[in-house]
Amino acid sequence: MTDRTHSSSPATPDTDEPSEASAKASRATLPSPSTINHQPSTIPHVRAICLSAAKGERKSPTPSARLLENHGIEGDAHAGPWHRQVSLLASEDIQDMRAKGLPDLKDGDFAENIVLSGMDLSDLGLGSRLRIGKDAEISITQIGKVCHTRCAIFYQAGDCIMPRLGLFARVLKGGTIETGDEASILEAVPRSTHQCVVLTISDRCSRGEAEDTAGPAVAAQLKSELTAHIYGTEIIPDEATEIEERLKHYCDGHGIHLVLAVGGTGFSPRDVTPEAVTAVIERPTPGLDEAMRIESLKKTPHAMLSRAMSGIRGTTLVMSLPGSERAATENIAAVLPALDHGLRKLRGDPSDCGRPSD
């Protein structure tokens, strides 16, 4: 069995959107709307809770709701075993849209589940944890989203701020929430933090026949030397289609900056990681591969047998590394001096790439 873990919910795989059947199974009769009770503006609180019975439509306010662990809001169409279980918007952002010519906007018109007031959401990065009400806890799993087509919400409201300003979260701890409940930040991961995913590619490790030491070592190295946040780790077999699927999953839409595929880069018939990486990247980054091989050649001639590939997909850097703990950490160490700058350039950093003057 494939072992997939997620930094915010270790027992939960980071999956794509649940099927329509799963969404229908989670639906319940929606409570009737009620007048919202407001806390003083200085206290972060829940301004509104909104649900819908179907996707792609406005949500309706309700006075209370139940958050279910690793599911979402009971009765909401977007609930399910995936990473976008709950959506959030700041009340202040909705108010800005009203001031820009949409005075009739209501809470839920952008299909958001929870509207928070008095809390700055703009710098919360992936892995940030919030408490909603007395018991419920959620972890931020995605910032914004890609809308490939304009849905009914766009045409009804004239614009949709969810792709730009919305946050999505997974429910870590369930509980009942009500409008007016206080909200607090339990852990803030700054949005400037590099977000990384480590995929260990190994048939034996995926079957539990061997212990994965390379993946955890690389993750620890990124945390200590790059000050990165490890969004998730997974162990998957040497299957090209599965490797490609997981690479695309994390590169497209999540806001992940670096994905490492550890293992499967040699000459063995089952070593297909370079082919999988090549299939998903849009721009190769050969300098990184050259630097890693040059450094490894100083230690062993076997380094010239590495077929590791790296490249860029969208705004995410994908790198492949050898499967041994020592080789993997040595390869990362070789590129660390340039990695921080490269990842920031991918995110639009306008600073000069030239070496600063002494």
Residue 16 lies in a domain: yes
- Considering only CA atoms, which of 184, 49, 38 is closest in space to residue 121? 184
- Give the mean pLDDT of the chain: 88
111-135: average pLDDT? 96
pLDDT of residue 105: 87
Within this chain, do residues 33 and 182 fall inside the same structural domain, yes or no? Answer: yes
Tell me how many domains the chain contains. Answer: 2
Report the pLDDT value the prediction gives residue 41, as an integer from 0 to 100: 54
Chain segment 156-210, per-residue pLDDT in tens: 666 678 888 999 999 999 999 999 999 999 999 999 999 999 999 999 999 999 9
The mean pLDDT of 95-101, rounded to a whole number, is: 85
Place of tokens 């721009």: 283
Query: Which pTM value belongs to this model?
Result: 0.83
What is the spatial distance between Cα 85 and Cα 140, in angstroms, rounded to a whole number? Answer: 10
Same domain, 40 and 162: yes
Nearest to 16 by CA among 103, 67, 78, 95: 78
Residue 154's pLDDT is 66
Which of 128, 153, 187 represents a domain boundary (last residue)? 187
Cα separation, 50 vs 14, whole angstroms: 24
What pLDDT, on a 0 to 100 scale, did the predictor assign at position 136?
A: 98
- Could you tell me if residue 3 is inside a domain? no
pLDDT: which is higher, 86 or 19: 86
Q: From residue 15, give the alpha-carbon distance in Å to each of 83, 246, 278, 351.
A: 6, 9, 23, 35
* Structure tokens, 164: 């730009």
How does pLDDT run across 325-357, given as a tens digit for each residue?
999 999 999 999 999 999 999 999 887 776 654
Whose structure tokens read 């999953």?
249
DSSP letter assigned to residue 177: E
Q: Are residues 179 and 209 in the same domain?
A: no
CATH of the domain at 146: 2.40.33.20
Predicted pLDDT at 187: 97
Q: What mean pLDDT is predicted for residues 239-253?
A: 95
- Provide φ and ψ at 144, rounded to 5°: 70, -175
Q: Of 187, 210, 233, which closes a domain?
A: 187
The domain containing residue 40 runs over which residues?
Answer: 12-187
Tens digits of per-residue pLDDT, 30-41? Answer: 444 333 444 445
Q: State the alpha helices, DSSP H only, in 8-87.
A: 20-26
Angle subtended by helix axes 273-280 and 240-251, to nearest 10: 40
DSSP 3-state assignment of 266?
coil
Q: Indicate whether 317 pLDDT > 50.
A: yes
pLDDT for residue 20 is more than 90: no
How many C-beta atoms surround the C-beta of residue 306 within 10 A? Answer: 21
Q: What pLDDT score was predicted for residue 341?
A: 96
Supply the pLDDT for residue 158: 65
User: Model confidence at 260, in pLDDT bands (50, 70, 90)?
Assistant: very high
Q: Please give the DSSP secondary-structure letter assigned to residue 37.
A: P
Do 141 and 25 share a structural domain? yes
Q: Which residue has better confidence, 97 or 328?
A: 328
Is residue 132 domain-shared with residue 231, that is, in the same domain? Answer: no
> What's residue 351's pLDDT?
78
Query: Rounded CA gap, 143 and 146, in Å?
Result: 10
Whether residue 341 is contained in a domain is answered as yes
Same domain, 30 and 155: yes
Averaged pLDDT for residues 80-103: 91
Q: Note whether residue 4 is domain-resident.
A: no
27-41, 124-138, 309-323: which range is least confident on average? Answer: 27-41
The CATH number linked to 307 is: 3.40.980.10
Residues 238 and 317 in one domain: yes
DSSP code, position 32: P
The partner residues of 87 in beta bridges, in order of sequence, read 168
- Domain membership flag for residue 131: yes
Say if 176 falls within a structural domain. Answer: yes
